[in-house]
């Protein structure tokens, strides 16, 4: 898989009133009460999102537990089969026949949620898998962390997914779910 370590991050405030793209290496981010980019550049404190897309390298075929710790709204999808990035998940659950698995889904039905962990488990083959992560800050502080481990903790111990195991891609079809 070519490209730099990290995932392609699309930051958006108020439906792309402001937006920016960058490669995000660390899947453990704490923005405090600030927006991802300076308020002096027009970014608001709240109601911003980041969509991370790219590929995840799975080192061993195994059952994996993913844990996302964040506030407000977040989701994680993994494609168990198709490596094409054209068919991003657009709904929950993914369309019938799709290989996208909605591993983690936190819609934060109370509007604003305190930071908390949500886990999902799935079986993955060794190799690259398309990955799609969505985070939305409604208000207050903003942070997210994405960890993995195998159910047999001796194979892949719980840790933040390392940047060397993810690759971003450039795609005009990347959209918020
Ligand atoms: Ca928040």
pLDDT tens per residue across span 61-99: 999 999 999 999 999 999 887 676 655 665 555 565 678
Q: 9-23, 24-38, 70-84, 91-105 — which is least confidently predicted? A: 91-105
In the reported structure, the alpha carbon of residue 124 is separated from the centroid of ligand 1 by a whole-number distance in angstroms of 31
Q: What is the pLDDT of residue 174?
A: 42
Q: What number is the average pLDDT over the span 16-30?
A: 95
Q: Which domains does the chain have, with CATH numbers?
A: 7-167 (2.60.120.1560)
In the reported structure, the alpha carbon of residue 9 is separated from the centroid of ligand 1 by a whole-number distance in angstroms of 18
In the reported structure, the alpha carbon of residue 71 is separated from the centroid of ligand 1 by a whole-number distance in angstroms of 5
β 142-150/159-160 pair status: antiparallel
- Nearest CA to 177 out of 84, 45, 74, 70 is that of 74
In the reported structure, the alpha carbon of residue 105 is separated from the centroid of ligand 1 by a whole-number distance in angstroms of 16
In sequence order, which ranges of the chain are alpha helices (DSSP H)?
none
- The answer to whether 49 and 138 are in contact (CB under 8 A) is no
Q: Report residues near ion ligand 1: CB below 5 Å.
A: 71-72, 137, 140, 142
Residue 165 binned pLDDT confidence (cut-offs 50, 70, 90): very high
Q: Tell me: the pLDDT tens digits for 100-122?
A: 888 999 999 888 899 999 999 99
- Nearest CA to 156 out of 27, 59, 68 is that of 59
Residue 139 has pLDDT above 70, yes or no: yes
In the reported structure, the alpha carbon of residue 135 is separated from the centroid of ligand 1 by a whole-number distance in angstroms of 10
In the reported structure, the alpha carbon of residue 82 is separated from the centroid of ligand 1 by a whole-number distance in angstroms of 33
Q: Distance between CA 11 and CA 24 in Å, rounded?
A: 11
Torsion on CA atoms 79, 82, 64, 128, rounded to nearest 10? -120
Q: What is the pLDDT of residue 100?
A: 85
SS3 call for 75: strand
Neighbours of 100 (CB within 10 A): 21
Mean pLDDT over all residues of the chain? 88
Q: Tokens standing for 177?
A: 């779910």
Q: What is the pLDDT of residue 110?
A: 87
In the reported structure, the alpha carbon of residue 112 is separated from the centroid of ligand 1 by a whole-number distance in angstroms of 7
């Amino acid at each position: 898989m070519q490209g730099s370590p990290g995932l392609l991050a699309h930051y958006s405030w108020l439906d792309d009133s402001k937006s920016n793209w960058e490669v995000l290496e660390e899947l453990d981010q704490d923005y405090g009460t600030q927006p991802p980019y300076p308020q002096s550049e027009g970014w608001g404190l709240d109601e911003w999102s980041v969509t991370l897309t790219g590929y995840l390298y799975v080192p061993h075929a195994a059952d994996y537990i993913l844990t996302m710790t964040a506030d407000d709204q977040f989701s994680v999808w993994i494609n168990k089969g198709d490596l094409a990035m054209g068919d991003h998940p657009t709904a929950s659950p993914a369309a019938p026949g799709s290989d996208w698995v909605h591993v983690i889904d936190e819609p934060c039905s109370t509007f604003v949620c305190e930071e908390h962990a949500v886990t999902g488990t799935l079986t993955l083959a060794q190799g690259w898998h398309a990955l799609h992560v969505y985070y939305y800050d409604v208000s207050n502080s903003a942070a997210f962390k994405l960890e993995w481990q195998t159910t047999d903790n001796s194979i892949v111990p719980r840790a933040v997914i390392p940047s060397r195991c993810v690759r971003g891609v450039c795609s005009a079809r990347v959209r918020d779910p």
